[in-house]
Structure 1
Amino acid sequence: QPATATSTPASPTPSKSASASPSPTSTRPPAPASTVAKPTIVTRAGWGADETIREAGDPTYTDKINAVFVHHTDTAAVYDCKDSASIVRWVYTYHVKSNKWRDVGYNFLVDKCGTIFEGRYGGMDLPIIGAHTYGFNTRSTGIAVLGSFPDDKGAATAISTSMLGSVAAVAAWKLGMYGVAPNPSTKTATLVEGASDSPPFVLNKTYSFLPISGHRDGFATACPGINLYNKLPTIRAYAAGPVAAPTLTVSPTYTKGAATVSWATSTPTAVIKGFEVLVDGKPVATVSRSTRSAAITVAAGKHSVQIRATHINGKTSLSAAASVTGDVTKPTFPTPLDVRLRGGTLSSTSIPVALTWKAADNASLKSVAATAPRAASFGPTVTSWGTTAKPASAVTYTLKATDAAGNYLTTSVSRTAVITQETSATRSGTWATKKSTSYLGGASYSSATKNAALTWTFTGRSVAWVVSRAATSGQAYVYVDGVKITTVDLKSSTTLYRQAIWTKTWSTSAKHTVKIVVVGTSGRPTVTTDGIAYVK
């Protein structure tokens, strides 16, 4: 049947069909088992061969296959793979009706997408003598690639990994029936020249070839074209195996149990038998040659994941190991969530507070997030967060710690921040009331008298002393529960109001006293305060 108008091939260069045979026979020999898995091949019926045009009966058989010759059909360089069967039918018809051959000359044909087609009739697994390499048809198999791969700069068919892989697969399968290694370092395949008119070869002389050779290696021709001929080393390597070690990823790397393993290899699918997923060295999943991912389930703990690829000849290769950790344990808060006062500016509606915590996980902590009273997100190593609280209002603070596997734990505390102004203090010494809208409640206490003191008593777990600061501000001693603990300098290059200048926090709520005493600093003795804030 003719090819379609959009893919009409050019006339292929004929290959003389004559060939001597050590012992040709038309009797079907037994089909030998191959050491290599058989690839998927479209049968003659599958590509629509008209069996009425070929010579009736069985073809001539040889006793074994020593070599494979790779050809191109020298048909149209550009074609669509959906038209491949039509092109195969065209080549078949041309060989039979124009060349007057008994059948299509090639034993197999392969298109640029990697589809393999059965060629000459008589049994794909049998040593059929074809008409592809004049003088060396006996004890060889011919594989033709559809298209053209010229030596000159003419249009050339695109070479794909799938195409090369399929040529390698069918070559390895045929050679594997007779124990022939497809990629030796020397020319190990011997063939006897069967033609007297194929220079430089001499009739009845034995010649050595690489087991996978090009048409030009056995006949004076440019076939299979330099572009394809230069790919023969790649085809031999694909045929010999093993599969190039896969590269893999595991997602997620931390899981409650389920994970997906994905991988890739540069080796074409046609020469791959299949893959196994190994967890800690043991197979847990077996998948087909075309599959590149698999689902696995792991127990708690750290595990090693690998991919073992099997070539069609049985050789195996192993990927590097990737790690996956099974984790069903929730994170913890070894340092409980707490709320304390921090430095900053107070107002009648806002008190600066800090949340403190420490989160941990047995495997990998991913994040910590605040969910109340407002949302905020933190990295796994963050242990504090500065925010504000509304005075005299009970506020619930909630954190959520999440690990890399998705396990999470929430923790909450309820705290109330309170402002106690200067007027609530017990005074000693001289203190003056100062009025300004800049002060909390519109007023503050101020003293320049050495040893003047203010004392507050409260029940809480964190306290801050609130002051005004300026360039002329002085210093004060701070006593907690009757013990002097620090000296605070209120001096500032800029004037600041309602500043939490000093803080202290306890692990539990209890009754405490805070006393501040004016130092009477020379040249700047004044201390001005708005009172204290505390958390209960």
Structure 2
Amino acid sequence: MKRRAWLTLGAVVVGAGGVATYAAASPSTDASAAGRDKRPVKVYDLTLKAPETGERELPRTETKQFSLLGVSWTGATKHLDGKAQVRTRSLDTGEWTAWQDLETNVDPVEDPEERADARGASEPLWVGASDGVEVQVVHEDGSTSSGLPKGLEVNLVDPGVVTAAETKSTGTEPAAYAADVTPSPSATTPTAPASTVPEPPITSRAGWGADESISPDPSEYNADVKAVFVHHTAGSNDYSCADSASIVRGIYAYHVQTNGWNDIGYNFLVDKCGTIFEGRKGGVDLPVLGAHTYGWNRESTGIAVLGEYTSAGASNAALASVSRIAAWKLGQYGVDPNSTVQLKAGATQKNLAGTSFTSGESYTFNRISGHRDGYATECPGNSLYAQLPTIRAWASGPVKGLKLTSLDGAALSGTKYYTKGAITAHWSATTPASLISKFELLVDGNVVATAAGSATSVGTTVAAGSHTVAVRAVHQSGKPATTAALTVVGDTTAPVFSTTPKISMRTGTVSTTAVPVTLGWKATDAQALKQVKLLAPTTATFAPTTTSSQRTAKSGTATTWKMRAYDFAGNYRTSEPAYTPVILQETSATKSGTWTSRSSSSYLGGKSYSSSSKGASLTWTFTGRSASWVVSRASSSGQAYVYVDGTKVATVDLKSSTTKYRQAIWTKSWSSSAKHTVKIVVVGTSGRPTITTDGLVYIK
């Protein structure tokens, strides 16, 4: 299906006087998919005419397919003192955009007399595939269209479809060209100097589909490259990076066929994904004269970022590529990208900040400057301009923001890391990896491992003893940056239990399944003890300074107390002694005096002995290392003497405000297991002489 052919140009005045509104159209073609599979680049120059007096209509007009447009006028040295706006219709959705401003405060041609066909023009605006356009131009003072430049045109660019495979230039020789017209470099073509930094990947003119037949003039060269001017191309930032080559083709066609220049103005172009495109022909590694910054082209190179960066900054990928290309070009002439330089003005003018320049005089510039530093333009946009210090820092080096983020295989205690030997250092940096030559892992100041600039970790093994560990990043310029050193101690010696884990009786309620005990131990390490864990009969984790824990054990059963001590390096030692709590019933004691047997489920074994007879005694003999006397307690309970191995060691009062059963009321422990006797004697306390004993528990 073919669209209607629009063969006329319509124009109407809109609103008050001084607003000239033009609707431009051109012949339509087959819009089928097959028709769009392969198309040459086309530029349609459509004359804008003043409307007839009194007309108010503004038609929306179909056009041939295009993706980039601008407004141009007669006279390369003339400015359009006013506002040019466009709106377009999407080829895919059929929706019309809002009005968009065209940037008309653009650099004039430095040598207009040498190019009679050169025109004044707005910056080109990428709008994506479109098939309809409206344009309106408003003079600055609101006067009629007579105040506007002559020869106003709207220029529509279809970047076409190029099917040639993309290629990359090596930078060691001028790029190959796609068309059959070979440029004729002048006899003064310089020799490409080697750079101090690597050349980044660059998509050649053949790679983005440059039609060399429209730019047959030989290249011109500067003596060197002293500075880089950063630009933006304006237009939408929503483009797909798959369209970047089309955008570059469109700008190229606009610069040549609309502006009347002999080539694209920029030396390099960079998209938001970081792809670098060769701009003006002549060799990416040569000081090609560009047309990008009025008055300063003779000593510089121009890099344009595709998109508009007034309110939004450029992507890190774009900034990294701008940094790389700037560092490489300046590195060809031994220049630090973060330094300043004296440039000689080629024109008398002012920059955006109001600084005046006089032709022939020299002025100080940053080696990497913004377009606005040299000419009164908003380019490269406020946000990208604010990112220039980052570009300079990344391009110059050393690596910024370098820090060790973690150390695997080692544990931190205080200010030191401890490891059994194998460690992996992890780091981060704010400088993009593409600008980093390598990372080096330093142990005691010596390089022990090397990683690529894209790496974020590397491992090594340290010997026993104390060491310093740091990471050094080498920028592509060769400048090093080193992190603060960490102290890392290599340790392969396991902790020791200077006191073997032991259990001893403690006070509390006794049952056949839960005898109250205290688990005690002491662990030490030659470097730094981290923790001690109880692994059986239950689990628990203890701080390195903890040496005891209240637990319970089952009586009559040998229980293994498995403990493990860890140091910060990951070494550990295990100790697992076994102990058996034994309950000796009251009936197993040797009696003297009068004792009465009592029965209750509250007693151990269901029975106990009670006596109020002064001097009555019970004696138990056992072989163990800890023992406790188990009693019943009440408000009427009396006192008893306790003898150990024939020596009186305590007087125990069984009185309690509440009645309690199976209470371990007195305990005794020894350093080792041995045969002992424990004897209890009734004191016969006045008013409450009775004591009730439930037996003895000991640890064997």
TM-score normalized with structure 1 length: 0.89
Report 1:44-193 matches (<5 A): 44=204, 47-56=207-216, 58-150=218-310, 156-184=311-339, 188-193=341-346
**Count of residue correspondences:** 524
Q: Which protein has greater RCO, CA pairs closer than 8 Å, 6+ apart? A: 1
1:301-338: CA deviation from partner (whole Å, max 9, x where unpaired): 33322111222322222111233333322222111121
Among 391, 395, 406, the alignment partner of 1:239 is 395
Report 1:398-417 matches (<5 A): 398-417=562-581
1:360-381: CA deviation from partner (whole Å, max 9, x where unpaired): 3333333333333334443433
Q: Which residue of 2 aligns with 1:31?
A: 192
Kept in 2, the 8 Å contact 1:17–1:133? The answer is no
Query: Using the alignment, how far apart are the partners of 1:257 and 1:439 within structure 2?
Result: 58
Amino acid at match of 2:321: S
Among 209, 220, 224, the alignment partner of 2:380 is 224
Amino acid at match of 2:421: G
Report 1:414-429 matches (<5 A): 414-429=578-593
Kept in 1, the 8 Å contact 2:347–2:357? The answer is no
Aligned with 2:213: secondary structure?
Answer: coil
1:62-103: CA deviation from partner (whole Å, max 9, x where unpaired): 111122111111132322334333322332333233333332
Query: Using the alignment, how far apart are the partners of 1:10 and 1:496 within structure 2?
Result: 98
Among 499, 524, 534, the alignment partner of 2:688 is 524
Report 1:125-524 matches (<5 A): 125-150=285-310, 156-184=311-339, 188-193=341-346, 201-248=357-404, 249-253=406-410, 254-524=418-688
Query: Using the alignment, how far apart are the partners of 2:187 and 2:110 within structure 1?
Result: 16
Give the C-alpha shift of residue 137 in structure 1.
Answer: 1.2
Give the C-alpha shift of residue 431 in structure 1.
Answer: 2.3
1:155-201: CA deviation from partner (whole Å, max 9, x where unpaired): x55423333333233222222322333334xx532224168999965
Aligned with 2:531: secondary structure?
Answer: strand
Identify if the C-alpha distance between structure 1 residues 488 and 46 changes in structure 2 by more than 3 Å, giving closer, same or farther. farther
Query: Which deviates more, 464-473 or 292-301?
Result: 292-301
Give the C-alpha shift of residue 466 in structure 1.
Answer: 0.6
Query: Using the alignment, how far apart are the partners of 1:165 and 1:129 within structure 2?
Result: 24
Q: Which residue of 2 aligns with 1:18?
A: 110
Give the C-alpha shift of residue 456 in structure 1.
Answer: 0.9
Query: Using the alignment, how far apart are the partners of 1:117 and 1:504 within structure 2?
Result: 88
Kept in 2, the 8 Å contact 1:19–1:136? The answer is no
Task: Give the unaligned 5+ runs of structure 2.
Answer: 1-39, 43-63, 71-101, 113-184, 411-417
Kept in 2, the 8 Å contact 1:278–1:306? The answer is yes
Amino acid at match of 2:202: V
Query: Using the alignment, how far apart are the partners of 2:575 and 2:478 within structure 1?
Result: 56
Query: Which deviates more, 88-97 or 502-511?
Result: 88-97
Query: Using the alignment, how far apart are the partners of 1:383 and 1:53 within structure 2?
Result: 88
Q: Which residue of 2 aligns with 1:153?
A: none
Query: Using the alignment, how far apart are the partners of 1:147 and 1:39 within structure 2?
Result: 24
Kept in 2, the 8 Å contact 1:125–1:174? The answer is yes
Amino acid at match of 1:71: H
Amino acid at match of 1:405: A
Kept in 2, the 8 Å contact 1:332–1:409? The answer is yes
Amino acid at match of 1:188: V
Give the C-alpha shift of residue 6 in structure 1.
Answer: 13
Aligned with 2:237: secondary structure?
Answer: coil
Give the C-alpha shift of residue 202 in structure 1.
Answer: 4.5
What CA RMSD, in Å, does the superposition of the two structures yield over aligned residues? Answer: 3.0
Give the C-alpha shift of residue 419 in structure 1.
Answer: 0.8
Identify if the C-alpha distance between structure 1 residues 353 and 208 changes in structure 2 by more than 3 Å, giving closer, same or farther. closer
Give the C-alpha shift of residue 147 in structure 1.
Answer: 0.5
Query: Using the alignment, how far apart are the partners of 2:559 and 2:372 within structure 1?
Result: 87
Aligned with 2:243: secondary structure?
Answer: helix
Query: Using the alignment, how far apart are the partners of 1:210 and 1:348 within structure 2?
Result: 87
Identify if the C-alpha distance between structure 1 residues 330 and 9 changes in structure 2 by more than 3 Å, giving closer, same or farther. farther
Aligned with 1:188: secondary structure?
Answer: strand
Aligned with 2:297: secondary structure?
Answer: coil
Amino acid at match of 1:92: Y
Query: Using the alignment, how far apart are the partners of 2:200 and 2:226 within structure 1?
Result: 22
Query: Using the alignment, how far apart are the partners of 1:83 and 1:384 within structure 2?
Result: 72
Query: Using the alignment, how far apart are the partners of 1:280 and 1:359 within structure 2?
Result: 31
Amino acid at match of 2:333: Y
Amino acid at match of 1:236: R
1:215-254: CA deviation from partner (whole Å, max 9, x where unpaired): 1222232221222223223323333332225121212324
Aligned with 2:520: secondary structure?
Answer: strand
Kept in 2, the 8 Å contact 1:245–1:309? The answer is no
Q: Which residue of 1 aligns with 2:173?
A: none
Query: Using the alignment, how far apart are the partners of 2:69 and 2:554 within structure 1?
Result: 87
Query: Using the alignment, how far apart are the partners of 2:359 and 2:539 within structure 1?
Result: 89
Query: Which deviates more, 127-136 or 114-123?
Result: 114-123
Query: Which deviates more, 333-342 or 250-259?
Result: 250-259
Aligned with 1:53: secondary structure?
Answer: helix
Kept in 1, the 8 Å contact 2:611–2:690? The answer is yes
Amino acid at match of 1:147: G
Query: Using the alignment, how far apart are the partners of 1:262 and 1:478 within structure 2?
Result: 65
Give the C-alpha shift of residue 293 in structure 1.
Answer: 1.4
Query: Using the alignment, how far apart are the partners of 1:306 and 1:439 within structure 2?
Result: 68
1:199-220: CA deviation from partner (whole Å, max 9, x where unpaired): 9655444444332222122223
Aligned with 1:130: secondary structure?
Answer: coil
Amino acid at match of 1:344: G
Give the C-alpha shift of residue 258 in structure 1.
Answer: 2.0
Aligned with 1:284: secondary structure?
Answer: strand
Aligned with 1:257: secondary structure?
Answer: strand
Aligned with 1:62: secondary structure?
Answer: coil
Query: Using the alignment, how far apart are the partners of 1:158 and 1:227 within structure 2?
Result: 5
Aligned with 1:509: secondary structure?
Answer: strand
Amino acid at match of 1:301: G
Kept in 1, the 8 Å contact 2:472–2:482? The answer is yes
TM-score normalized with structure 2 length: 0.69
Give the C-alpha shift of residue 445 in structure 1.
Answer: 1.4
Identify if the C-alpha distance between structure 1 residues 323 and 384 changes in structure 2 by more than 3 Å, giving closer, same or farther. same
Kept in 2, the 8 Å contact 1:168–1:235? The answer is yes
Kept in 2, the 8 Å contact 1:39–1:270? The answer is no
